Structure 1
Amino acid sequence: MDHPHPANRGLFRATLAGPQARLTEAFYQLRVRPDCVSVPEFGLYGATLAVPGDAEEGAWKMASIRDEIFVVVSDCNYAHSRSERILPEGFVEFHFSIAGPASVDFSDTGHLHVNAPNLLVCSQGADVQYQVTCGPGPWQSVSMYVTRRYFDRLVHALGGEAERIRVDLASIGRDQIYNRQMPFSVDALHIAEQLLASPYSGPRQLLYLEGKCTEILCACIEMWLAHLRDDSPGETLSARDLRLIEQAQKMIVADLRVAPTIPELARAVGTNASKLKRGFKFLYGMTLFEYGHRCRMNHALHLLVDERMPVGQVALATSYQHQTSFTAAFRDYFGFAPKDARRLASPATQQRAVPDAPEAAQASMRARRTEDADKS
């Protein structure tokens, strides 16, 4: 297979069926590959697909269970960012993110940052498309795409309390996306790890995947019901909601000298504080406060290291009226004082210390501090 052009590196859909291919189209192409294994007696087929590229970047383990549940187990270490567009197909999706960051781009309507480890349950309306991107580095996940017909039968069979899940999903409009994020249960994490480390190949692997998928679906339903019992809200967001939330994000980064309150942001963009808080956590994987604090700290690092600005001026530029408060916050975030930033910063850190990538800056800083300690 020819290696894709760097600008067109995709995930499994694009690799199997081309840009903007649907999941079902990708699985059709999987089914006709010469290395596809099938167990027709049980309605199973699948294959392990090596990630195409200039280096070994891992594999996608893919299987179809009667074309009702589609499973993709990703055990990858991407050399470059990979992305592809997701078209609506009416699935109820369960995504176990075990290792590595990813993001979802709703074009002009916002970005969702997916942080591991967590379980994301989602379903998109018929008019919602988005772009998913996995950054370079390790990415381990288990994704199950369940047809609504199968899922409705499952919920009906469970009866009683599970009916609340059906009601949750029934409210999704054509231009809306529903999501529920929750931490792993111990049982679910154990099953996901078993799927990643399957000891089988060929038909036995397909039978193993089928059994484990039934098991992990039961764990998902139990986690979902537990969230409902705790009144932990799912979120149904329209394209307008996503645009307003992204406007709030832009307001935060536009002027880091001020720290607007949540009610102020909500009024400014034209939504209510409760929806803004929940929607922002959905899109950015953190609270409004956490996001604003992250942006201010990384902007402070940039001003200290690249602009060589005095600490007092940096404090004012990042919404702190008192230098002592800024110094305490900076030390708590990075693990060292502002006055030490220039000495500890590496060239790579100076380039990466931007509001959207604080982890990289912190890791580089901390590695440099360890080197300095070893030399002393």
Structure 2
Amino acid sequence: MAAIEVSPEMLTLLGAGKVGRIAPPPRAIGLVFGFGTANAPATVRYLSRPCGKALDADLQTRLILLVSREACERIAGQSLDLADGSLFHVPAALRTIALAIRDCALPDAASTPYRLAKSIELLCDFLRAHGDNALVPVSPEGMLSSTDTQRLLAARRVIDERWSEKLTLDMIARASGLNRGKLTRGFREMFDCTVADAISGHRLSEAGQMLLATDLPVSSIGYRCGYLNNASFTRAFARHFGEAPTQFRARRLAA
């Protein structure tokens, strides 16, 4: 496997086969990203003590981040309370970053710093997803079939990619190959929320980013995020973030 020393606290490994002889950072944790296949979703496994045997459990092409626990907790602003061996589905945004690292076709002089920077981005986004309770565990065998799991992940991608559209249950069900019943039950089981909650949460997260990254009026941002009037947007935003959009923007930009 190819090794990239990101910093004294972080090492990235990429490729197939055994890890081999490496010098991991002190008190390292491991994040093992599998890219998935046509019949299996992309996953990430958390290892609290990444020994060679655990890292070599799967010899397919994979991306491994070895990071000191202190660095992770410093970035996350909290302790890592994940169980050793926990396996999660890779959210679409994280999979995009992981694929960019894997498929980088730049010359060697450029690919190494590119992959280094993307590795840091992948770690930060994983820790943010953990802090937001957005990591979805892979269901134990028998709870959800592999096919239904993939279709529910496809339904979640529809929301992630088409959140600005007027989405309906029937539209999402058709796009993912599920009926309405399986879609609604599966969302509660797999994502611990309703389809409507997932849509609203994504729209409000996008609204929060727009408030900080643009100078658009609050009413315009609400409309772009699917709210027909400013009052309904403000109520929904305040329930989600605990403060009104204007306060959210002012407090964070002043920090």
Distance 1:106 1:333, change over 3 A: closer
Pair 317,134 (structure 1): closer, same or farther in 2 beyond 3 Å: closer
- State the distance in 1 between where 2:231 and 2:201 align: 18
Task: Give per-residue Cα distances to partners, 1:150-200, cap 9 Å, x unaligned.
Answer: xxxxxxxxxxxxxxxxxxxxxxxxxx9646xxxxxxxxxxxxxxxxxxxxx
Q: Does 1:334 align with 2:241?
A: yes
Q: CA deviation at 1:53?
A: 6.2
Aligned identity (percent) is: 22
Could you say which residue in structure 1 is the equivalent of 2:145? Answer: 237
Q: Is the 8 A contact 2:237 2:244 kept in 1?
A: yes
Aligned to 1:272: 179
| CA deviation after TM superposition for structure 1 residue 257, in Å | 2.7
Shift of 1:296: 0.9
User: CA separation of 1:236/1:250 partners in 2, compared to 1, >3 Å: closer, same or farther?
Assistant: closer
Q: Tell me which residue corresponds to 1:302.
A: 209
Q: 1:283 to 1:20 in 2, by over 3 A?
A: farther
Report the counterpart of residue 355 of structure 1 in structure 2: none
Give the Cα separation in 1 of the matches to 2:11 and 2:253: 28
Q: 1:18 to 1:296 in 2, by over 3 A?
A: same
Q: Is the 8 A contact 1:80 1:136 kept in 2?
A: no
8 Å CA contact retained: 2:139, 2:190 = no
Which protein, 1 or 2, shows the higher relative CO under an 8 Å CA cutoff with sep ≥ 6? 2
CA distance in 1, matches of 2:11, 2:88: 19
What code does the residue aligned with 1:7 have? T
**2: distance between equivalents of 1:280 and 1:18?**
31
CA distance in 2, matches of 1:291, 1:314: 19
Structure 1 residue ranges, 4+ long, deviating more than 6 angstroms after superposition: 136-139
Q: Distance in 1 between matches of 2:185 and 2:228?
A: 29
User: Using a 3 Å threshold, how does the CA distance of structure 1 residues 235 and 333 change in structure 2: closer, same or farther?
Assistant: same
* Match among 151, 160, 167 for residue 253 of structure 1: 160
- Which one-letter code corresponds to 1:15 in the other structure? C
What does residue 24 of structure 2 align with?
none
Post-superposition offset of 1:264: 2.5
**Paired AA for residue 160 in structure 2:** V
Query: 2:245 and 2:161 mapped to 1: Cα distance?
Result: 23
The correspondence for 1:317, drawn from 224, 240, 244, is: 224
What SS class does the counterpart of residue 88 from structure 2 fall into? strand
**Equivalent position SS for 2:144:** strand
TM-score relative to the length of structure 2: 0.51
Q: Letter of the 2:176 partner, please give it.
A: V
The equivalent of 1:7 in structure 2 is: 12
**Cα offset for 1:16?**
5.2
The 3 A distance-change label for structure 1 pair 100 and 345 is farther
Structure 2 counterparts to residues 1-376 of structure 1, below 5 A:
6-8=11-13, 9-10=29-30, 11-12=47-48, 14-15=50-51, 17-21=53-57, 54=68, 78=73, 99=81, 104-105=88-89, 135=127, 178=140, 235-238=143-146, 240-346=147-253
> Partner amino acid for 1:6?
L
CA contact (8 A) 1:79 1:137 kept: no
Query: What's the Cα RMSD here?
Result: 4.2
Number of residue pairs matched? 169
Contact 1:331 1:338 in 2 (8 A): yes
Contact residue 244 and residue 270 of structure 1 kept, 8 A: yes
Structure 2: unaligned runs, 5 residues or longer: 1-7, 14-28, 31-46, 59-65, 96-124, 132-137
Q: For residues 80 and 137 of structure 1, do their structure 2 counterparts lie closer, same or farther at Cα, with a shift above 3 Å needed?
A: farther
Q: Tell me the SS of whatever aligns to 1:7.
A: strand
Does structure 1 retain, via aligned residues, the 8 Å contact 2:10–2:68?
no
- The structure richer in strand per residue is 1
The secondary structure found in structure 2 opposite 1:6 is strand
Q: SS state of the match for residue 242, structure 1?
A: helix
Change (3 A) 1:257 1:278: same
- Kept in 2: contact 1:244–1:269 (CA 8 A): yes
* Mapped contact 1:330–1:336 kept (Cα < 8 A): yes
Specify whether residues 103 and 320 from structure 1 end up closer, same or farther in structure 2 by C-alpha distance, changes over 3 A only.
farther
What one-letter code is carried by the residue in structure 1 that aligns with 2:247?
D
Letter in 2 for 1:20: D
Given the superposition, is the C-alpha separation of residues 330 and 106 from structure 1 closer, same or farther in structure 2, using an over 3 Å criterion? closer
Q: Residues 283 and 79 (structure 1 numbering): CA distance in 2 closer, same or farther, change over 3 Å?
A: farther
Q: Distance in 2 between matches of 1:334 and 1:267?
A: 32
Whether the 8 Å CA contact 1:266–1:273 is kept in 2: the answer is: yes
C-alpha contact 2:164 2:226 (8 A) present in aligned 1: yes
